[in-house]
Every structure is written in structure tokens, then in C-alpha cells.
């Protein structure tokens, strides 16, 4: 027996709309993982500044664990409705971890200063743009790939003693090239958003 039309419409209205919808919840698993990643940033920095074999190993392990939480919260977030807090702080946590660690490695001579300066400038512009447009400009797959490659490269550099002629160095320059390509695409999105009054 077919159900009344008004009952079907009420059922559809009660279902969560996941497309483009952000929840206001705070205490979710992805948000907790993002918070842990943010808290790990100063610890990794302090360990790297100590400049001993043991602290470098500890920093590398903690950095890898933080990168894995980024992967995990991304998987969980795709299966649930994302939250406003997560949409705001997840990219902040990623960029803060990557940029701050890269700066410390550059001061230690383990990464090229010019490349790190460009990466930090790119991250700052991306964060400002994301805040200005309220998260309406999403991170592209190319940008996510660049971040993943750079994260892996930094881990290799920390754990491998900073030899840029090895796997870590090759991956760093590959991630750097990807990040520049992603930045060009991001600049195009910002330009289109500005022309359309903030709508991408």
C-alpha cells in the first residue's frame, strides 16, 4: 500500500542533507584528531630545536603520527557530515605543522631557505583566503597531494638526517612543485570568487 505523500515528504525532510552542509557540533572524532595534531606542533618544534639524535627520532615519529591522524580524520570526515569547526581548523593544523617544522629544518640547514619561504608565504595566503571566503574555496585534490608528499618528505628529512640527495630531498622538491601548481589553481579560484561576489 503506497504511503501518503505528506508522510514521504516529512521523511525526506528529516534526513540529514550532506551535500554542502556543515554541522555545528564540536566534539567529533575528526575534530579531536585535529586538536591533537595542533597540540603536537609545539612538541615537535621543541624536539627538533634540541638537535640530538634521540630528539630528532622522537620528533620524526611524532610528526609521522600527526600526519596519520590527518589521513584518519579525513577518512572519517568523508563518511560523516563535516563540521564548521573542522572545516576551519583542519587546514590550519596541516599548514601550521608543515610550515613550522619546515622553518625549523631550514634554520638547521636541512631544507633550502628559499623554498621554505615560498611554502610559508603560500600557506599564509591560503589561510587568509580560506578565512576571507568562509571555507567556500575548497582544497583541491592537487593541493592535498602536494601536502601529502611534503609531509612524507619532511618525515624522511627528519629521520634521514636531512640529506636532500636522498628520497626525502627528491620528494620535497616534487611536493614543492605540486604545491606551486596547486597555488596557481587556488589563485584562479580566488579570482573567480572575487568576480562573482565571493561565490566560487
Helices (H), the chain: 5-14, 29-50, 53-79, 84-107, 113-132, 141-159, 167-195
Q: Rounded to an integer, what distance in angstroms lies between the CA atom of residue 122 and that of residue 111? A: 17
pLDDT of 183 above 60 = yes
156: which residues sit within 8 A by CB, 6+ positions away? 166, 167, 168, 171
Q: In this structure, is residue 15 part of a structural domain?
A: no
Q: In this structure, is residue 3 part of a structural domain?
A: no
Instruction: Specify the number of domains making up the chain.
Output: 1
Regarding predicted confidence, which is higher, 85 or 49?
49
Range of the domain at 144: 24-195
- 28: domain CATH number is 1.20.120
- Other beta carbons less than 10 A from residue 115's beta carbon: 17
pLDDT tens digits, 115-146? 999 999 888 877 776 666 655 556 678 888 88
| pLDDT at position 16 | 43
91, 37 Cβ separation under 8 angstroms: no
Q: In this structure, is residue 42 part of a structural domain?
A: yes
pLDDT of 98 above 60 = yes
91, 147 Cβ separation under 8 angstroms: no
pTM, rounded to two decimals:
0.75
| pLDDT at position 78 | 67
Q: In this structure, is residue 134 part of a structural domain?
A: yes
Q: Rounded to an integer, what distance in angstroms lies between the CA atom of residue 150 and that of residue 111? A: 12
Q: In this structure, is residue 11 part of a structural domain?
A: no
Q: Rounded to an integer, what distance in angstroms lies between the CA atom of residue 59 and that of residue 138? A: 30
| pLDDT at position 26 | 61
Exposure on the CB side of residue 58, measured as CA atoms within 13 A: 15
Q: In this structure, is residue 2 part of a structural domain?
A: no
Q: In this structure, is residue 120 part of a structural domain?
A: yes
Regarding predicted confidence, which is higher, 166 or 41?
41
Confidence at 173, pLDDT banded by 50, 70, 90: very high
Mean per-residue pLDDT, 180-187: 83
Q: Rounded to an integer, what distance in angstroms lies between the CA atom of residue 138 and that of residue 121? A: 19
Q: In this structure, is residue 6 part of a structural domain?
A: no
Q: What are phi and psi of 33, to 5 degrees?
A: -65, -40
**Ramachandran region, residue 2 (left: φ > 0; alpha: ψ -120 to 50; beta: rest):** beta
Q: Rounded to an integer, what distance in angstroms lies between the CA atom of residue 151 and that of residue 155? A: 6
96, 35 Cβ separation under 8 angstroms: no
Amino acid at each position: 500500500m503506497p504511503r501518503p505523500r505528506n508522510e514521504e515528504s516529512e521523511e525526506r525532510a528529516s534526513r540529514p542533507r550532506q551535500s554542502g552542509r556543515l554541522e555545528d557540533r564540536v566534539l567529533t572524532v575528526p575534530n579531536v584528531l585535529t586538536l591533537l595534531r595542533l597540540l603536537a606542533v609545539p612538541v615537535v618544534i621543541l624536539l627538533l630545536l634540541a638537535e640530538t639524535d634521540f630528539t630528532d627520532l622522537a620528533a620524526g615519529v611524532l610528526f609521522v603520527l600527526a600526519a596519520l591522524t590527518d589521513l584518519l580524520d579525513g577518512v572519517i570526515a568523508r563518511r560523516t557530515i563535516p563540521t564548521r569547526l573542522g572545516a576551519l581548523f583542519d587546514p590550519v593544523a596541516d599548514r601550521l605543522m608543515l610550515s613550522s617544522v619546515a622553518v625549523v629544518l631550514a634554520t638547521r640547514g636541512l631544507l633550502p631557505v628559499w623554498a621554505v619561504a615560498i611554502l610559508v608565504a603560500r600557506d599564509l595566503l591560503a589561510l587568509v583566503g580560506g578565512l576571507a571566503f568562509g571555507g567556500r574555496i575548497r582544497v583541491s585534490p592537487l593541493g592535498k597531494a602536494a601536502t601529502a608528499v611534503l609531509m612524507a618528505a619532511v618525515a624522511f628529512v627528519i629521520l634521514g638526517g636531512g640529506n636532500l640527495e636522498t628520497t626525502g630531498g627528491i620528494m620535497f622538491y616534487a611536493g614543492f612543485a605540486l604545491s606551486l601548481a596547486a597555488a596557481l589553481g587556488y589563485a584562479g579560484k580566488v579570482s573567480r570568487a572575487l568576480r562573482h561576489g565571493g561565490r566560487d
